[in-house]
Chain A
């Protein structure tokens, strides 16, 4: 491998509220951070619509990516002393850690669902396509960009380096849990990361945890569990996400039926047509999306303008626990009768709409568990050793809520119809 980029003349540091300092000693990493594709991550929030619930959650995918890089760098510093670690892999892992989210777009989750795009494919395209990131990586050797892309896609032959970025206990999760807890202001996302890093051990099949560090890992597992219910799946955040998704659906539907928008759709046109290019994709960020939503508030189409008003002005849908299938269909017909389009105003949101992998051992070969390394060299799956983890892994992980606009229901003039709707919603 031709390594044309070496060490920086002097170390660069970024101040970081989670890790205190992020240290950059390699010219490669410094140059990657400076690329336009990576700088774009400053304009994409890490937690999408969560800022509408937790106002502090304004942190970006840029700061998270730096955090994942920093944790990986610290792990490698510890691994350098181990015989099972190959120091030649260092820059490959660090590049993959830094770039693991480079393909994320604004409000990725909703965009992926509505437009069928995949941020992982865009990560690959950014790393291998005609981009600044690709040109920097290429300076490390012709094969280097492909290797970085394979580590991120989890298809690289080296399971250990894949597991550092993506496994049940990896640099990505450790950073986002700590960072999201810090910026949302909640107190339950914390765990002893220093301890976990010290008890990680490299093996050919991935990272294992020295069994003396089990209690630190228990805290980490508990943190994942609590952050999901308290932050990631917060019903108010989900309400904003539901509205965002419906805005995108409505705009796409209008476009496909030949509706004339007041504002030129230059950024959205190829998305609506299903042939978005890398160039178009990279030009999207949250600022652009808000610009369109502000404009769509003035559209003639009342559904699109209403949904945009709700999103921008935070007039969100109310929610209730999911009603039965039969009641759901009944509600849908009542909404239609009342002139409220159920396709846009009556929405079920399930836990599977925001898949989040709680830790559980699963069945053989379903997915890789967290393994503990016993003093005698035996490997044991975490929940077989930890009562705390075993208890959590059996907990309910599913939830369904029904979202609706209470203000529109209150405004229904037909009082009988209105009470029928409210009667079902209040059951």
Chain B
């Protein structure tokens, strides 16, 4: 019962606090691509892989009182912060299950900028293509973001390091 919800709570708990919905979206996507047990369906949107299912699940967890959401204004836009509250901690201690090796990956991702995670998740979305094709595709679908060659190389290295951590 609510196993998939619990996995999302576990991820936020491992991160401590996640700032930004976009960042949380990309963190779960990358975790899913690393074969952690996340089932949320993702589609490609303007800002990279996006899951409406995850958005709703987080809202459900907030409404159920397990996740604390703080809305703040940042340069004219709304931004949201997420953390597991006391009820959520109790829930995890009673029904939660450890997800092996998730913690270090999640903490590492949480230290990255959401712009970089957008790039990493987009690269992973096109992982069936060759490296050069991926770079070309990223430059096409993310033309506005103007990712540099260095950033893209960094993204590939970062993906390798994450994969190394979960092996």
Contact = CB atoms under 8 A, between A and B. Distances in A.
Interface in B89-125: 91, 94-95, 114, 118
Nearest to A116: B39
A364 B79 CA distance: 7
Given A154-B43, A154-B44, A355-B52, A350 B60 contact: yes
Interface in A307-358: 325, 328-329, 332, 348, 350-352, 355-357
Contact of B143 (A112, A157, A357, A367): A157
A278 interface: no
Interface string B38-79: 010101111100111111110110010000000000100111
A377 interface: no
B140 A368 contact: no
Contacts of A210: none
Contacts of B78: 361-364
Given A351-B56, A363-B22, A398-B56, A157 B141 contact: yes
Nearest to B50: A367
A155 B21 contact: no
Contacts of B60: 350-352, 398, 400
A352 B57 contact: yes
A159 B142 CA distance: 11
Contacts of B94: 325
A52 interface: no
A407 B1 CA distance: 22
A396 B63 contact: yes
Nearest to B94: A325
A381 B141 CA distance: 23
Contact of A367 (B45, B59, B77, B140): B45
B95 A325 contact: yes
A153 interface: yes
A355 B42 CA distance: 11
A356 B141 contact: no
A397 B55 CA distance: 11
A366 interface: yes
Interface in A364-379: 364-368
B158 interface: no
Contacts of B25: 366
A120 interface: yes
B121 to A, nearest CB: 13
Contact of A120 (B43, B47, B50): B43
Interface string B1-16: 1100100000000000
Interface residues of B, number: 40
Contacts of B45: 154, 367-368
A367 B56 CA distance: 14
A155 B56 contact: no
Interface residues of A, number: 32
B59 to A, nearest CB: 5
Contacts of A355: 41, 51-53, 55-56
A154 B49 CA distance: 10
B41 A366 contact: no
A352 B56 CA distance: 5
A332 B3 CA distance: 14
Contact of B59 (A118, A332, A398): A398
Contact of B47 (A118, A365, A398): A365
Given A157-B140, A325-B91, A397 B53 contact: no
Nearest to B139: A157
B56 A363 contact: no
A113 B80 CA distance: 29
Contact of A328 (B1, B43, B55, B63): B1
B151 to A, nearest CB: 17
Contacts of A366: 21-22, 25, 47, 50
A367 B47 contact: yes
A360 B94 CA distance: 34
B129 to A, nearest CB: 11
B52 A357 contact: yes
B137 interface: yes
Given A325-B95, A366-B25, A398-B60, A155 B50 contact: no
Given A120-B43, A350-B60, A368-B45, A325 B2 contact: yes
B2 A365 contact: no
Interface string A132-172: 00000000000000000000011101010000000000000
Given A348-B2, A355-B52, A356-B52, A159 B95 contact: no
Interface in A78-122: 112-113, 118, 120
A400 B77 CA distance: 31
B110 to A, nearest CB: 17
B125 to A, nearest CB: 8
Interface of A: 112-113, 118, 120, 153-155, 157, 159, 325, 328-329, 332, 348, 350-352, 355-357, 361-368, 396-398, 400
12 contacts: A118-B41, A155-B44, A155-B141, A328-B2, A350-B60, A355-B55, A364-B22, A364-B77, A366-B50, A367-B46, A397-B59, A398-B56
Nearest first, the 4 closest Cβ-Cβ pairs linking A and B are: A364-B77, A352-B56, A355-B52, A355-B53
Given A155-B126, A348-B1, A366-B21, 7 more contacts: A154-B43, A355-B41, A356-B52, A357-B52, A363-B79, A365-B22, A365-B47
